[in-house]
Amino acid sequence: MRVRMGTTNPAAPAAPLAPPDHQRVADTVRTKLPFHARFGTLTPLAGDASNRRYFRIHLAGEPNDRTASVILMQLAEPEAFKASEEAVSGTVQIAELPFTNILAHLSAFRLPVPTLHYYDREAGLLYLEDFGDLTLLEACAKADASRIASLYKQAIDSLVVIQVKATAPTNPACVAFHRKFDVPLLMWEFDHFLEYGVNARRPAPMKAEDAVLVQNEFRKIAELMAAQPHVLVHRDYHSRNLMVDGNRIGIIDFQDALMGPAAYDLASLLRDAYLALDESLVDELIAYYLDGLARHGLRMEPTAYRRVFDLTSIQRNLKAAGRFVYIDRMKHNPKFLADIPRVLGYVRRNLEKYPELAALRQHLAPYVPELQ
């Protein structure tokens, strides 16, 4: 078992990437794509916190509606078999790009992931199906309550397929089956929060006696999570990684998938750093998810599941808060800082909800204004 530790650097900031060679891209479009196409224009797309860049290739001529454009993913390094951009735990020796490896696995279950049209390994360029620009986050900003519920239920339908069908180890070569959320990795993420979400935002570090107690309480949560049934976990299943493409929701950014607690992706989706859902809708969607599992013969007691969901949300949200500060301090990208009050608001409400968490709240909240 291997855990990549050292919370300061799960993915070191990279130098800016040079733009792809237009002539190479044009030649690839003309000769390598599985349909007739000619290169038109190459437009940069807004980046995220990753070390990849994305472009939209607008195709010239008269392609059909499904191939009017292609997404170009540019890797930081050609054949970047990488260190995951997240900390990882496992023993797998990566023999191919995790993105393409996991894409192939998910595609086998007819999950709505982008088609890979061509992979230019030498240049580190992937030509992918274009799901458009409309994220679930943006779609919800324009939708009424009924439409929002419908979109989220569709996302949960795909999540159930991932957990019930794609979790079956039918493909031993899938890298996700050789990585896992275990106690060391979950504690790494808690420590990442303490380093960046607490100490980096304060003039003085947390007192040693408080740090010990907080870490002990964190370990209890980590052990509870690790003891849950493990399924295939996307790891970032939320409104910015789900694309509303007509009548379907496409799934992107799955390259860090691993085996982990069954509640993790639902907690990521419903306790989203970027979008707060009405509590009545959260309750409805949790029930919808449990019904979806039950249809496959997997039944969970709702009250017990809700406790696991809430404690998993605490871990997920604290990790996100620490990560957002890390991205600001280490990658010089402050755009996620505005989301910290939302994610820590979720944590505060869950700390207040469960008497068993009183000690954690007592010793952590004095150092985190959003938890007070």
Residue 87: its pLDDT value, please?
62
3-state DSSP assignment of residue 8: coil
**Residue 301 predicted with pLDDT over 70:** yes
Residue 81: its pLDDT value, please?
40
**Residue 82 predicted with pLDDT over 50:** no
**Residue 225 predicted with pLDDT over 80:** yes
pLDDT digits (tens, 9 = 90+) for 226-263: 999 999 999 999 999 999 998 899 999 999 999 999 99
pLDDT tier for residue 94 given thresholds of 50, 70 and 90:
low
Burial of 368 (0-12, 13-18, 19+ CB in 10 A): buried
**Residue 12 predicted with pLDDT over 60:** no
Mind listing the domains of the chain with CATH numbers? 22-129 (3.30.200), 136-371 (3.90.1200.10)
Task: Report the pLDDT averaged over residues 144-167.
Answer: 98
**Residue 62 predicted with pLDDT over 60:** no
Instruction: Tell me the pLDDT of the chain averaged across its residues.
Output: 91
Q: 279-294 and 145-164 are packed helices; what angle lies between their axes, rounded to 10 degrees? A: 40
What's the first-to-final CA gap in the chain, in angstroms? 38
For residue 277, give every residue at least 6 positions away whose Cβ sits within 8 Å of its Cβ, in sequence order, or none: 148, 152, 270, 285
pLDDT tier for residue 66 given thresholds of 50, 70 and 90:
low
pLDDT digits (tens, 9 = 90+) for 110-144: 999 999 999 999 999 999 999 999 999 999 999 99
The better pLDDT of the pair 62, 43 is held by 43
Buried b (16+ CB within 10 A) or exposed e, 53-76: bbbbbebeeebeeebebbbbbbbb
- CB of 100 within 8 A of CB of 127? no
The better pLDDT of the pair 278, 36 is held by 278
CA distance 242 to 138: 10
Task: Report the pLDDT averaged over residues 279-299.
Answer: 98
**Residue 14 predicted with pLDDT over 70:** no
Express as a percent the part of the chain with pLDDT over 90.
82
CA distance 205 to 202: 7
**Residue 212 predicted with pLDDT over 50:** yes
The better pLDDT of the pair 234, 81 is held by 234
Residue 2: its pLDDT value, please?
35
